[in-house]
Structure 1
Amino acid sequence: MCGIMGYYSFGRTTPNKNKIEKMFVLLESRGRDASGFAYINNQNKLVVSKAAVKSSDFVKEADWKSLVLPKIMILHTRAKTQGEPTNNMNNHPLFTKDGLCIVHNGMIFN
């Protein structure tokens, strides 16, 4: 099973990066095959970062280290079911060119 996490910072509150990072690393127990996050930046563009690494390693990478946490974010840790984590298209968050972004737990069949 995968790990799904998200937050929304109300009003003028600023997300605490240390706390979010700790929760993301703890979420690793739900999936160690890949990790990722997504948010909308100040230019109203979808930003997605994901890799075939466990979250405790993901938070050591440049994308996480340089990140200033946005007001809203979704995060995911993947436990492989179908599709290899080495193909980053199999990892979450999943997104469309139109800007729809999702994470889920399990498999979706079409």
Structure 2
Amino acid sequence: MCGIAGILSKSQSNSTIPNLLSILSNLINRGKDGTGIGYFDCHHKMVIRKKEIAAPQFSENYNEKNVDCNIAIGHVRLPTIGEISEFNSHPLLDCSGNIAVIHNGTIKNYSPIKNELSKKGHNFRGTVDSEVLPHLIEEYYDKTNDFEKAIQKSVKRMEGYFTFSVISNYEPEKVYLYRHHFPLVVLKDDDQTYFSSERKPLAQLLQKRFRVKHLKKDELAILSND
């Protein structure tokens, strides 16, 4: 079991990263062997930071908290496949570094998918099952030039239990969410959208009322900050 979370705002804010780190620290029950975040900087380029440590320690040592951004995603890891390491921590990237995925669950058929993609030239650097997902999306995006279709095709290839979120340099104003098995809750008002594996860490952070949506099984949601 792992934990995923994210924040989207209509405007750039230096509170986005601190708020995300607070949520991740409150998801420590879902994993403390790796923490990572991904966000878009003021130039709309994706930035990834991760470490094989628990979220509270990651937050305490993180020195870029005042960065202005309006989209950020994060992950806490409890390993099931793959050793504890910085690279196996999420977000995980494709070959180009343009697609980042945070994933909760197990991809049971990751080994044959990994072998297939390796033969096609994909470069895998870690040992975690989740790494096949950004590479699958990359493979189908290169063929379709349609990010939503690439995710849908990737999901059809995977066996197991999973929930994940994706951001990319191709669409820096969007966050894609997919729930196959594990819960994912979205809280939204006119200015901000939050999502998390659990509602409680969001309730601990937020003081006002939000519209609440629980993703249904096999639902793909596309969040935008516009």
CA contact (8 A) 2:2 2:31 kept: yes
Larger RCO of the pair (alpha carbons < 8 Å, separation 6+): 1
1:67-95 Cα shifts (integer Å, max 9, x gaps): 32510000000001111112x22110011
Counterpart of 2:93 in structure 1: which amino acid?
F
Matches of 2:84 and 2:54 in 1, distance apart?
11
Match of 1:50 in 2: 50
CA contact (8 A) 1:9 1:15 kept: no
SS in 2 for 1:50: strand
Counterpart of 1:107 in structure 2: which amino acid?
T
Aligned-pair identity (%):
30
Does residue 38 in structure 1 map to residue 70 in structure 2? no
Counterpart of 2:83 in structure 1: which amino acid?
E
1:34-77 Cα shifts (integer Å, max 9, x gaps): 0000012223322101110000100012xx23232510000000
- 5 Å matches for 1:29-108? 29-61=29-61, 64-67=62-65, 68-86=67-85, 88-96=86-94, 97-108=96-107
Does residue 2 in structure 1 map to residue 2 in structure 2? yes
Change (3 A) 1:69 1:33: farther
Listed as ranges, the gaps of 5+ residues in structure 2 are 114-226
Does residue 22 in structure 1 map to residue 2 in structure 2? no
CA contact (8 A) 2:31 2:54 kept: yes
Q: 42-51 vs 16-25, which deviates more?
A: 16-25
Change (3 A) 1:90 1:18: closer
Counterpart of 2:84 in structure 1: which amino acid?
P
Matches of 1:43 and 1:13 in 2, distance apart?
11
Matches of 1:14 and 1:43 in 2, distance apart?
14
What is the alpha-carbon root mean square deviation over aligned residues? 1.9
Cα shift at 1:18: 4.7
Structure of higher CA gyration radius: 2
Q: Higher strand proportion, which one?
A: 2
Cα shift at 1:98: 4.3
CA contact (8 A) 2:3 2:27 kept: yes
Q: Higher helix proportion, which one?
A: 2
Structure 2 length normalisation: TM-score? Answer: 0.43
Aligned residues: 106
